[in-house]
Amino acid sequence: MKLTAHPELLEILAASHALGTLRGGARRRFEAMAREQAPVRAAALVWQGRLSSMTELQASVVPDPAVWTRIRNMIDAEQAKVAIEHQRDAANARDAAKPQPTGWLRSLTLWRGATAAGALATVLAVVVGLNLRDQLLNAPTVQYVAVLSDDQAAASMLVTFDPKKKQLSLQRVGSYKEGDDKSLQLWALAPGAAPRSLGVMDKAPALRLAAAESEVHAVPTLAVTLEARGGVPAGSGPKGPVVFKGALIEKTI
């Protein structure tokens, strides 16, 4: 099946993959298609970037007091359940004719630990899920996307363009680190034209740059060069080597 022919399904699968709700064979099939199809790989990285940017670029949200009350009630209920089970186990141990085997005791300890871990996981799910739906609904509109790779074909940077906000979003997905005296600079490579700078990057893992749609429309390729700190002067072409490069794909919104 070619997912690119079904953009709505691709978005759902990519979002589910990033959230971790796509599991088993479906997850393996999606990852196999992502390895073989650049648009699928790009969609997966876009959703990973959206979720990670919630903590990196967005203001923190204070939960409603009622949420903490529900969490406290959940913890109290779990603790009460563990206490009851402990009392029951103690009674069974007193009535047993033989001491319980070591393996059973070890399993019981692990079970109690798993119970506590389950309660913690539930609490974390409630906290992390606060306003998640609203944030996903308000996620940026992505019309252009590029996965830039190094000379070993390893994905190193995700670039997306939001036409409504007139904004480029860049997110590092590799481990590349430029020196303190160097800067990375993003370029649009259009046919028959000189490379055009789209901006100089700082060392943050995620960055947003203002850009007009005319700057990326009909641009087939983006590249990132390693330049002297601060980038090359306006109107100049790239001076340093290309470290990342990739096709810019226009998506159907």
Quote the Cα angle for 1-21-4, to 5°. 25
157: which strand partners?
Answer: 148, 172
Query: How do residues 22-36 score in pLDDT, each as one tens digit?
Result: 888 888 888 888 888
Mean pLDDT, range 115-122, rounded to an integer = 47
Phi then psi for residue 64, to 5 deg, are -65, 145
Q: What is the pTM of this model?
A: 0.52
**Number of Cβ atoms within 10 Å of the Cβ of 66:** 8
Query: How do residues 214-224 score in pLDDT, each as one tens digit?
Result: 999 889 999 99
Chain-centre distance of CA 234, in angstroms?
33
Residue 219's pLDDT is what? 92
* Cα–Cα distance measured from residue 191 to residue 218, given in angstroms and rounded to the nearest whole number: 9
The token pair at 48 is: 């990973």
Considering the chain, what percentage of its residues have pLDDT values greater than 90? 22
* Cα–Cα distance measured from residue 166 to residue 212, given in angstroms and rounded to the nearest whole number: 5
Query: How do residues 144-195 score in pLDDT, each as one tens digit?
Result: 888 888 888 888 888 888 888 899 989 888 889 999 999 999 999 998 899 9
